Chain A
Amino acid sequence: MTQRHSTRGAWLIMLASLITIAICVYDYYTPKTGLIGTGGVILVAGAAALMLLASLAMAMVPNRSCFLQGFLVVSILLDIIGSSVAGYFLESPVIMAAQALALIGWLMNVIADAADRSVEIDEVEDED
């Protein structure tokens, strides 16, 4: 059964993903970054691409099942954590900053969605 879920924060996550991908492309092809041609950068770029898809789904499909909403929320959080750790070991402050941005977007979405659910429950209780 689908419900309307919040799209708030999704655009921020999308922006963070795009920044991450751009940084990874730059790092992968630039000798002075120390990360030229490295698998770690491809890994982070891949994770960012997945995050981009997830955030697109979050933004474009407001009417989604609770399962899909849970899946998106959990997978984006895991993606943020994983990419942050990777950014730390890649010694890339920009990747870590982008993940912080994504985390803000994620928090906005989760909080807004929880608030929406709370209003719905209140409304149901009022009807009772």
Chain B
Amino acid sequence: MIKKLLSLKNIRLLYAAFFLVLFIVLVGITSFRSMKGYQVALFLELDPLVALSSFLTSWTVYKGLSLSLIIIVGTMIFGRFFCSWICPMGIINQIAGNIFNKLRAVDLIKMNAYRVLYRFKYYVLALLLVLAAFGTIQTGLLDPIPFITKAFAVSVYPAVNYWSGGFYLKQPVFQGGFLLAVIFIAVLFANRFINRFWCRSLCPLGALLGLLSFKPLLQIWRDTTKCNDCMKCVQNCHGACDPHASLRTSECMVCMNCISDCPENAMHYGLPKDTSSVHAPLDVNRRRLIETAVFGTIMFPMMRSVITSKTVSQHSVIRPPGSIAEGDFLRRCIKCGECMKVCPTNVIQPALLEAGFEGIWTPILLNKIGYCEYNCVLCSRVCPTGAIVPLTVEKKIGKPPAQKPVKIGIAFYDRGRCLPWSMHTECIVCEEVCPTSPKAIWFQDVEMQMRDGTTKVFKRPYMDPELCIGCGICENKCPVRDKPAVRVTSIGETRSLVNQMSLKS
């Protein structure tokens, strides 16, 4: 009885449930009140594709990303277990597939049989790695862990908060969050037509793990003397790896369903026996692979001959404090959305085209939504790839005169909209909220004759560009709400040598 319950399939189910819950909890606690030093980016650090692609762009295996070695070595021993045992994207896709597909056995067998379409993921991987080798990291678009982390941070948690109101005081809002939600739901809905469509045909991480597991130590084997070709093993197969014939090891997600489903006990996991069936080699077309690589080689210079935040400084591309120089930033940022989730003021937003196509969904600061909290360094603490390097509060706010603060931009007055400048009204909210000491915003008392002949004395604000750190609280709290009268642009940011205007800096 206990031995029956402790089948490999049930153990896999336990692991899957554990890792799915762990993922949801870890993304959920990525916030100021509950983070408390937990390794919230754990799943991203376990992801070998993050480690490999960021290694190709910048020749380092950054800190926690070395954890992915566990998965790499594990895959070479146990096969592509990550996909059905650990990967939250895979597990959620499988759950969606189970919900959508209540089919007759014969249709299940059709759905879970191998298709040539499933080669496609290897070409996706090849393209992403070629681009990475040239120096642009685009794996984050399709790598499942950054993708699902971002989908949860930007779409799922804000939606849950909308109904429950329980996580944050303010409803989080994200630029283009709905687009991500639609893509995420579309990916889940694709399971309605092909079970685990994403994992089998698109997922570049699955392809990478498939390559690593082309000959793992332990595999699933079919005993040719016991098998009577009933095909029951195909019915619930996660990877569509043809366990009834020559099993495709690179496709096999070691879900162990075939072992449980086999009425003849013909399947086992481990080392091969004399009677074990042969396994099929990796199914990729060399010609297509070369075409993909050539395509990437042609694409890359084209991607780099356009206007991006790297080629021309962009005023609206204000990066979180601690971000490395823009060129390196685009080599490291995998668009995972951790910084957007953790930001207490919701200022960090996924970019649309502000930073060019290359920088889509990378973090930028929209000061109309929030502002960079002066004493907060959380975004730099959660970044798994070092696109934002860890800061301490002391390092961020600096210790004048010896140590300068981290500047992310400079605020400029729009004197045509500023109330004291154009409407002769008392205001200077910007001065009140300016967090630096001494304040970057200062003012002059002005005496002015009004239209009706009376004189009025009021304060007019000025910006000191040397003291301004670009936090954007002035822009955020400006009473001219729709287009604030003081706005931050990225000029003067500490991380850039070129995006500077002042001789002194």
| A is bound by B | no
Chain A residues in the interface with B (C-beta under 8 A):
none
